[in-house]
Structure 1
Amino acid sequence: MTFYRKGLGSRGEEEAARYLYGLGWRILERNYRCRIGELDIIAKDEGGTLVFVEVRSRAGNSHGLPEESITQRKQYKLRMLAQQYLLVRPKLADSPCRFDVIAVEFNPNGEKKELRHIKNAF
């Protein structure tokens, strides 16, 4: 992964976290890692639902929209990661859960162009 892509991803996650805080959500963890992979953001929404948020960022649209890059395989992996997270956090196991996607688009000069929040993305 190039520095540019990694930097873009980090910026997208920062924008997403700021957006969620603005909604009044409580962010429980960011960049949760285990042997399976990583969850970008784990939060509780204003209604108490546990939300696993996948953040996708792009500069330009030559490769499509950011959210279009989440394949069936990636969705499966995110579900497995969420199960693993709940195994090590048994107090949260009975919480209602969902998967959201936040897509962040940047202009080629690095300015945020658009942020889209897709609830119940899969």
Structure 2
Amino acid sequence: MTTLTRSQIGALGEALAVEHLGGAGLRIVARNWRCRYGELDVIAADGERTVVFVEVKTRTGDGFGGVEYAVTPTKVRRIRRLAGIWLAGQDQTWAAIRIDVIGVRIGRQRTPEITHLRGVG
């Protein structure tokens, strides 16, 4: 087994998260959206009226705790700020906004483990 770099691990986790979201019926609107204040991993539509900002956390072990510990109140505030900037640039209006976190754990089992926390902030 070749060793992956951090960016390769992150990209793999994000690809698995996008696949998971599609399987859950969400439509991907954007990936790796950047502005001067930061980056949003995945932006998805849940139905026609809800936009979901998804933070993807990929881990290869348990060293940093579970996915529920990966997104701190500070990180949620940052995601909210970025979401506001993204929304300001859109033509479509959304009835609801949600922040989800998808944790992808690679390497512990043959199949990656995916944890999807909805509405974290």
Q: TM-score range by the shorter chain?
A: 0.7 to 0.9
1:21 aligns with 2:37: no
TM-score normalized with structure 1 length:
0.87
Deviation of 1:22 after TM superposition, in Å, equals 1.3
CA distance in 1, matches of 2:44, 2:112: 24
1:103 aligns with 2:103: yes
User: What fraction of aligned residue pairs are identical, expressed as a percent?
Assistant: 38
| Runs of 4+ deviating beyond 3 Å | none
User: Unmatched 5+ residue regions in structure 1?
Assistant: none
In structure 1, the residue matched to 2:84 is 83
CA distance in 1, matches of 2:26, 2:67: 23
CA distance in 2, matches of 1:113, 1:91: 35
CA distance in 1, matches of 2:27, 2:65: 31
How many residues matched? 118
SS at match of 1:24: coil
Please tell me whether the aligned partners of residues 104 and 112 of structure 1 are also in contact (alpha carbons under 8 angstroms).
Answer: no
In structure 1, the residue matched to 2:71 is 70
SS at match of 1:61: coil
Deviation of 1:112 after TM superposition, in Å, equals 4.1
Deviation of 1:47 after TM superposition, in Å, equals 5.7
In structure 2, the residue matched to 1:114 is 113
Please tell me whether the aligned partners of residues 100 and 118 of structure 2 are also in contact (alpha carbons under 8 angstroms).
Answer: yes
SS at match of 2:92: helix
CA distance in 1, matches of 2:28, 2:95: 15
TM-score normalized with structure 2 length:
0.88
State the superposition RMSD in angstroms: 1.8
Higher helix content, 1 or 2: 1
In structure 1, the residue matched to 2:39 is 38
